[in-house]
A and B are shown apart, each in its own frame.
Chain A
């Protein structure tokens, strides 16, 4: 794969990033911030485009959940890292990781981004997919927000209250974990199944006393409730991971695409770490949010490629929870080693793999 272009290889990229950092510091005036962000993106894209031999280029479609957990994928796309790696990537934006995975199984996407919960649920149904990387994790992705006027001040106050929850998702799993952490069980509350997007309004309208909601809808709920809102610290009850999933057949037939894809994501992660504000600007534009909202949520996420042993344990916990709550028809926990594809990440960043093998 040819590496010709204005910025040669990773070193050139680093130089560019440093230059942008200096430029960003210089451009503290608001009026020029937009311009500087656009300029940086344009320069990165320019440095990436046209640098690949067209003969070696790969085509792929990414089904991506429009969630902050997918920020590395959006940044990689905006900065042209996919193109640079030789992938002409089509991004298919989806409302959640589950819909993105559905698109994958329907053959509308080659790769999708997905959280733990859909992986576990799908693992009870099929065996033809695999996870080839985790690129984001957050202990603050899912939160519990309650109304003060419902008398909720502590977690224990949830007893007997109506809690809005999206069944079968991380919202649901987090609520169970949260309740257990506060010495409650699901039977101590009344769960109201609803779509995540509807949760803030339902909470404001007093249809529920609390909601287990993921970002960015938590901000909306907090805004709607104003002083009446209570946000419970998530602590380290549940770590949401956002993973890259593909079909086993695609992984077998196109291991090089997955390798290139992971390299682009890895570059994007490096870019995000070195260009925090520019990455925030890209995110704000992508999600059509004001920059302050993005900045407020930014530190809730940790970006980085990995495949951890904890991932397996975590999935097994979710699977166990799903069996206990009868969300799945089977009673046997799948062997999640069979849903892991180590090869691509081993080729790109082997030191980030801690799965015992």
Chain B
């Protein structure tokens, strides 16, 4: 897919939030990514190590929380895992809505604040 562009977006978000918090360093980044996104974790990690050089996020660790894709049948309300595109395994209806698997966000960051004992 386009992991470099996505990784750049993640960096921008982390930098903005870290600056707001007066952080001196970001140590950990927690991502929540649904399985329906075609993002490859290893690839994001590879770009991350590269593009965070000389930024507040240098040497930070990326943590991926993967969310499995699940659908809910609109006919019989059965919830089922969506490993591939298929009708409801219970009633074979092709009408369903996706309830999880589309998550694509930065959940939180861990930061250091040097030189101050600022407690919120």
Q: Do A and B bind each other?
A: no
Task: Give A residues with C-beta under 8 Å from B.
Answer: none
